[in-house]
Amino acid sequence: MRLKLYFKLENEKMPIQYRKYILSFIKKSLSEYGEEYYKRLYDGNKPIVKPYTFSIFFENPKIENEEILLNKKEFELNMAIQDYEIAVALYNSFNHQKNKIFSIGNNSWSLTNISMLPEKNITSESIDIKFQSPLVARNRQDKKDYYYSYTNPEKFLETLKINIREELKITDIPAEIVETFEITPIEPKKVVIKFYEKQIETSTGKFNIKGDKRLLEYLYKAGLGSKRSAGFGMFQII
């Protein structure tokens, strides 16, 4: 399921680390709607692989210091959710938050509307995609994180396969299917993003991905790479 959420802002300024506020909004929505789903997805004692990703759309944004300046007091949140039960729970929890004020430092927002978007059918083992939120390829070794973009092709592919195997642990898709995965830049761009206290090297733009259709379908619905549920790795088929 793909959702689009429409928000109104109190003013035209968003913090550059807006993702942490989106995460807080998702957690608040789930916790107020149903404790069962909140605990199922967010357990403070261990990381949980989540079957969704999101991206934010700002119209003509400008970055100034630690803020994003907008020309409109509004933005859109797009979500792709692979698990139907979780998708329904998220939809209902967001619907419960409509028109409520949510504070984000020196600003606030309210959710005004939610719509469901059509999903494309994947009919081949090769698709061209465009990232709606940056792709994170992360390899954790000896309690330290290493990030790779498409500019380091070998490490990039190797690390993405590690990330995909981790994603598939919550599915019945066999792990060996990951060996069919390939990714080729078309119109790529490397972007370094500040996420909490870390500077993360990411990739965005247009790519071609290949693999078993079951794998491509899962990635389309749940996102690709690491930190998907924090607003990374969402793509559209072009």
Residue range 54-86, pLDDT digits in tens: 999 999 999 998 899 999 999 999 999 999 999
Split at pLDDT 50, 70, 90, the class of 36 is confident
What sign does the dihedral 9-15-18-20 (CA atoms) show? negative
Can you give the pLDDT at residue 167?
92
- Say how far apart CA 42 and CA 79 lie, in whole Å: 17
Q: How far is CA 167 from its chain centroid? A: 13
- Say how far apart CA 231 and CA 201 lie, in whole Å: 14
- If you average pLDDT over residues 204-221, what whole number do you get? 97
Give me the numbers of helices (H) and strands (E) for the chain, helices first please.
Answer: 5, 14
Q: How far is CA 181 from its chain centroid? A: 20
Task: Quote the pTM value.
Answer: 0.93
Can you give the pLDDT at residue 46?
76
Does the pLDDT value for residue 150 go beyond 80?
yes
Q: What is the pLDDT of residues 92-111, one digit of tens each?
A: 999 999 999 999 988 999 99
- Say how far apart CA 35 and CA 203 lie, in whole Å: 35
Residues in the chain: 238
What sign does the dihedral 93-99-103-108 (CA atoms) show? positive
**Domain ranges, ordered by start, for the chain:** 2-117, 126-237
| 137 neighbors 232 (Cβ within 8 angstroms) | no
| 111 neighbors 5 (Cβ within 8 angstroms) | yes
SS3 42: coil
**Nearest Cα to 228, choosing from 4, 29, 48, 15?**
48
Is there a common fold for 2-117 and 126-237?
A: yes
| 196 neighbors 186 (Cβ within 8 angstroms) | no
Q: Which two tokens stand for residue 156?
A: 């990039």
Q: What is the phi/psi pair of residue 155, to 5°?
A: -65, -35
Can you give the pLDDT at residue 43?
73
Split at pLDDT 50, 70, 90, the class of 230 is very high
CATH 3.30.70.1890 fits 2-117, yes or no: yes
**Nearest Cα to 82, choosing from 232, 235, 219, 227?**
219
How is domain 126-237 classified at the CATH fold level? Answer: Alpha-Beta Plaits (3.30.70)
**Nearest Cα to 133, choosing from 19, 238, 17, 234?**
234
Split at pLDDT 50, 70, 90, the class of 11 is very high
